[in-house]
Amino acid sequence: MTLFEDRERAFEQSFVHDEEARFRALAKRNRLLGQWAAEQLGLKGEKAGAYIDEVSQSVVARVVDETLVAKIQSDFEANAIDIPDDKVREKMSQLMAEAILQVRSNAW
């Protein structure tokens, strides 16, 4: 192997690792967001679990963040909960940072 091939392989491995970590962090963030939204909606037990699963699976279905915000906002509106879109997005950002920390601490 040449130095160039070694560097290329290392770069590819790093890219794969970063993408896997990003996917895990998004899945974790969506699960945390589902838990938060379920609490806001007053859901308990199986209903909360089902709601959390629905929100957390959106990363697998490749649902974009805005669609996720719209889904949660629709659920909030149906339950007369007044939390603006920007607060939901802010919570998503906070939970993404938390999820990244959790994924990194579990990865090492």
Q: Where are the domains of the chain?
A: 25-107
Domain 25-107 class, CATH top level: mainly alpha
Give residue-wise pLDDT tens across range 6-63.
777 877 777 777 778 888 888 888 999 999 999 999 999 999 999 999 888 876 655 5
Write out pLDDT tens, residues 64-98.
688 888 889 999 999 999 999 999 999 988 998 89
Neighbours of 94 (CB within 10 A): 14
Q: What is the pLDDT of residue 108?
A: 43
Taking the whole predicted model, whether its pTM rises above 0.85 is answered as no
| Residue scoring higher pLDDT (76 or 1) | 76
